[in-house]
Structures are given as C-alpha cells and as structure tokens.
Chains A and B, each alone.
Chain A
Amino acid sequence: MAQMMAEGKKPEVLFWVGCAGSFDDRAKKITKAMVKLLNAAEVSFAVLGTEESCSGDPAKRAGNEFLFQMQAMQNIQVMNAYEVTKVVTTCPHCFNTLKNEYPELGGKYEIFHHTQFLQNLMNAGKIKVEGGKFAGRRITFHDPCYLGRANGEYEAPRALLTKLDAELHEMGRSKARGLCCGAGGAQMFKEAEKGDKEINIERTEEALELKPDIIAAGCPFCNTMMTDGVKNKEQEASVQVKDIAELIAEAQDL
C-alpha cells in the first residue's frame, strides 16, 4: 500500500490478509490463492503489509475490549490515512470486525468476504469458474459462524462451489444451523474447557458421514480445525480441506 501511494496510484481494493493469512503456513496458501485470483481478474489491489495489525477480533470475543479498541483505532488510522474505501479479506473474523465494529470507531469502508468479492468478479465475467477438474467430486461446505449466522451470508460460497460442477452435499447442520468448528470466541488460542469431546471432531464426523472428497471452508481457523479433525480420523489421504479461493484457483490452473 505504501509503495502504491508513493507511486501516486490508488488501488481499487485493499486486501486485508489477517494474522492467519500472514503467519499460518496453511492459511498463507489461501492468501496466495486469493492473490492469484485477484491478479487473474486484473483487480488493482494492495496489502498493508507490515502496517497491518490484528483486527482485534480474538481480544474482543475474549472480553478484552481495551485491547480490541486499541487495535481497531490503530488500524483505522492507517486505513483512513490511505483513504481506503473497499476491503476484501479471506478471514470471516476480520470481515465481521471491520464490517460491524469499526464503523462506530471511525472506520467506514465497504467490506467484502472473499467469497462475496469472488462472486462479484464471477458475475461480472472477470473470472471464469469452470469445474472440469472437479466434475463428479463430492464437496461439502462448512459454514463459518462469522460469515453465516453472524452476517447472514450463506449464498456467496455456495454460488461459487456450484460453478465447480462438483456434487455439493449439505451437512444436516448447515447454513443458519451450521455447527461451529470450535475455534471462535478466542477458543483457537486456548485449550477447550473440560468436556467429553472436541467440537472440531464432532463437526468433522458430521462432514465425513457424507463421504466427501473435499471439505470446503471459508475461514482459515475453520480450515485448521477441520484439517485437524480429518487427521484425527486418519482420513487425510482421501479427504482434503480446502478454502474456496484455493478450489477456484485450482480449477483455473492458477
């Protein structure tokens, strides 16, 4: 972003990479797939790079409102300085926080989850989603809580997956009744409380009942939880956990 500003250019959209997308080895692959898609669609975009900070989501859900607002105000200062108007992110937690909680603190931007942004690109004919590669393969989509219930977006990811010509199978608990992967509310960063089962195992078992080839995710944390679940069930040889951006990039041989 700093570089583009220095060159006097103004990108159309800011790609908010997020902490997982920047540091987590698995999530970095999602980030790269997204970059490939943005480039393929010739979208003028920038990232904040080292000027990006945690959105504050895990702090806020854990109850640390101070830390959240500190993070939010720093990020808002940076984005306002760059006159950001549109943001796309591959993380539903960043998406939710920026979209719903930043405006009151002075950060008003148009925020897209990457599945929404990709759906728009597809509808505008800027990316073609063709599913030759995925024809006949069984895919089930795990709704991220912070995209689905939290923001009512159930259709964008499904619209993209439908274009892959794959067989889309819904889990019993999907859309508004989708079961959490277990990572939300800062659970990602702590051991679960005492119980008789891990939530990600419960969810993975539900997905595996459908005998999918691919479990599609739209969130780097869900991705980790489902990947761990599949490994726990020793199914990683036959079942892949993939972000929708990765599936679409793969379909186009990007």
Chain B
Amino acid sequence: MSIGVSNAIFALVLIGASVLFYRNLSRIRRNILLGRDLDRTDNKPERWKTMARVALGQSKMVTRPIAGFMHILIYVGFVIINIEVLEIVLDGLFGAHRVFSGFLGSAYQSFINFFEFLGVLVLFSCIVFLLRRNVQRLARFHKPEMKGWPTSDANYILIFEIILMFALLFMNASDGLLMSMSVADLSSAGLDKYNTGINGGFFFSSFLNPLLPSDAASLQMVERGAWWFHIVGILGFMNYLPYSKHFHILLAFPNTWYSNLKEKGSFNNLESVKKEVELMMDPTADPFSAPAPAEGEVPQSFGAKDVKDLSWKQLMDSYSCTECGRCTSECPANQTGKLLSPRKIMMDTRDRLEEVGKCIDKNGADHDDGKSLLHDYITPEELWACTTCNACVEACPVNIDPLSIIVDLRRFMVMEESAAPAELNGMFTNIENNAAPWQFAQADRLNWVEED
C-alpha cells in the first residue's frame, strides 16, 4: 500500500464532490424551509413504521407489479453495490487494491459475484425501463407536462446507470484477468499491486473477457480507466441528483417519515379562519378590544397563492416527486380528458420553488418577482377539475399529497380572490341562507317523514 499522486488527486475529487453536494443539499433545505410551519413530529413509532414500510419496503411500488419489481431490483442493486463503492473509495484514498479482500479472504469472490449479479439485474431493469419509456411509450410518460427536460432527465438517468454498470463490469473483468496472472508476469510489468491472492474468476464480468486486450499493461489501462470512470461518474451523478427528479432516492425517506398520518379525508381546519369564525360566533366578543397585531407581523393569507404560503411538507413533497405519473394515471379528471394532472401540480410547485430560490440568491429575500404558483404556473381550470377523491394521494409510492396543494390554492381563489365558479358561488349562498347546498328551506328538512 503506497499513497501516491493519484491518491491525492482522488482525495481532491472526493472532497470537491462532497462540498458541492453539501451546498446543493443546503440550497434545497433552505428552499423547503421557505414554507409555513407544520408540526409532523407526533407519533414517532408510527412514522418510523411508515418509512420502513413505504420507503424501505417499497410497499406502494408493487401495486404495479412489473414496474414495482424492476424498481426493487434497481433499488436493492443501488444500495448493495454501494458497499463495493465504499471499497473503491478506500482503495482510492489509501492506494490499496481491493482492500476488502484482505478481510474477507476466499469469501471475497462470492461477494463480488453477488454484486455483479445485482449489477446485471440493474442493467436489465434500466434497459427495460428505457424501452417502456421510448419504444412502448407508456401513456403516463408522455403527458403534456413531460415534454422537454422531464423526458430527457428520465432518459439521462437510465442511460447513466447503464454506463456506470458497464464501467463496473469492465473494471472487474480486466481486474480479474490481471489478478489471475502469475506473480512473475505481474512483477515484470511492475504491477505487483494486482497480486492479491484472488485469481479473478468473477462470473458475470468474465463474459466481457473476449473484448479485452491480453497484455498486462493494456489491461491495467482498461482497469484504471474503468475504475476512475466509475467512481467519478458516481460522484458526478450524486451532484446531478439535486437538479433532477432522481432526488427522490434521498427524499423518499424523510418524505414518508413526515407523512400525513391522519385519515386521507381529513382536511386541515385553517387556524386563521377559526379565529375569525369564533369571533363572529361569540356574542360577547368585542372586535375592537382584540389585541393589535405585533409590529411588522403580516397577517397570514387564507389559502395559498405562492409556494411560501404552502407548508414545508408540501414543498418537500415537490422535491420528492420523481414524476412517475401514477397519480395522474389514477386521476379521474385526467382520465376523462380534463386539464388537471396531479403530477403537474407537484412539478409546478417544485419549478416555482426553484425559481423563488434563485430569485432570493440573486436579489435577496424580500424581492418580489411579481409571479406566483397560482395563475403563472397552475390555472384555475386545473384546480376546479379536482373531485378531491384522493386517488393521487393513494397512488403515490412516496406518500406525496397533491390534493392538499390543490385545496390550498382553491382556498386562496375562493377566500382571497372571490373567484369561485358561479355555480359554486350559488351553492355557497344556498348554504349560507338556507343551510343546504340547494335552494330548499331549512324548515322543510323534515318533510320526507310525511311523504310516501
């Protein structure tokens, strides 16, 4: 083991990638915390269970068996292959070669074979996923909101994963050939490092052997090339995540932990409204004796116009969305040709939040760019198409709640803009005047008893 220039370069690359990733995470955290306060820390045992079941156990993915199963292959592959990545990082920092083989002895070969097996399954799943998107062209991947970047993003991710798996396999294949050379051959080529006592024999990657050169020096170039490509690729991919829908691989966990644990039908009761209504209903209330609002306190709007009016959890939801479109394909409004797509609600929320974040970076926190989530991104027609049936909430594999955003935006339209559709205004008036959504007198409520 000797630490050389290449190890120093590797350390710099690793530190650089980590710093960049940390800065990206901080940016997203800052953006999420632009949202309103919300307490989601109650009932912790249930929260851990939900996270274990939904994120770790992928319980909602398998509702669609084919996609669900292959997603689990990629997920398990990703998590377990990271153990080999850890070895690569340690080798890179300390100039070792296959540092785990020293601890594991003969079991090492089985481990690598198992990793390769997973790698092949990941490869297979990614190829099938590419075919589903681009050849079979599943409808939910080709809705209007998927045009342009979202479609490219999805393809880049899959292609990148395929390339990374090939890099891993080429690395193992060339390394396997090197390590099976005689001690003398390795020594004469100045490659004593590859004399690890493992004689190659990695099952899956050995299928690539016919493609590889036979002399030690060229093999070493392939091995080093694949090694560097693979690890730098992974570090690059890590920094691609915060700009991509693929960020869900991290946020799925906190997002399910902070899930809404109430019944899905339970919409929150706005505290701001409750105060006003209590004042109205209380005959002894004196509105003039109410304490004046604190200096500089801005009264909370009723409902949401922009991302800052949403809760931090709704904003976290938007960054957790991987645009799979299960919500949209289950949505009764979308199925019958209406403009509403719950996935678009989430994508718009994230895009607007990114825009607000950039605006803050550029112009400071108080700058108003004159735009808002409602109207500039999401139109009333989309919002009024919702039947609040909760199909989107049920369908989401990471417990995102598009419905709560739809309702908060509706609240703003109705209570702040008085912009409900005329028929709904009629319904409101009826409820106010005669306590029913239709024009029947409250005095007639019991007439059914007398009728036949």
Contacts and interface: CB of A to CB of B under 8 A. Distances in A.
Contacts of B394: 149, 176-177
**B269, B389, B421 — most chain A CB neighbours (10 Å):** B389
Contacts, number: 211
B413 interface: yes
A100 to B, nearest CB: 3
Interface stretch (A81-89, A129-137, A181-189, A238-246): A181-189
B390 A149 contact: yes
B431 A149 contact: no
A56 interface: yes
Interface in B323-341: 330, 332-333, 335-340
Contacts of A121: none
Interface centre among B277, B302, B420 (most CB of A within 10 A): B277
A103 to B, nearest CB: 9
B72 to A, nearest CB: 20
A60 interface: yes
Nearest to A100: B266
B276 A195 contact: no
A203 B333 CA distance: 12
Interface in A26-62: 28, 31-32, 47, 49-50, 52-54, 56, 58-62
B159 interface: no
A209 interface: no
B274 A69 contact: yes
Contacts of B381: 193-194
Interface string A150-192: 1110000000000000000000000011011011111111111
B143 to A, nearest CB: 14
Given A59-B428, A101-B266, A149-B390, A197 B423 contact: no
B411 interface: yes
Contacts of A176: 394
B388 A184 contact: yes
B419 to A, nearest CB: 10
**Count class of interface residues, chain A:** 35 or more
B445 A52 contact: yes
B438 interface: yes
B369 interface: no
Contacts of A190: 384, 421, 423-424, 427
B333 A177 contact: no
Contacts of B451: 28
A226 interface: no
B35 interface: no
Contacts of B424: 62, 186, 189-190
A196 interface: yes
A67 interface: yes
A33 to B, nearest CB: 12
Contact of B448 (A31, A54, A191): A31
Given A50-B443, A69-B277, A193-B384, 5 more contacts: A23-B445, A54-B435, A177-B395, A193-B333, A195-B333
Closest 3 CB pairs of A and B: A150-B265, A63-B410, A196-B337
Interface of B: 63, 262-267, 269-270, 273-274, 276-278, 280-281, 302-303, 330, 332-333, 335-340, 381, 384-391, 393-395, 407, 409-415, 420-421, 423-424, 426-428, 431-432, 435-438, 440, 442-448, 451
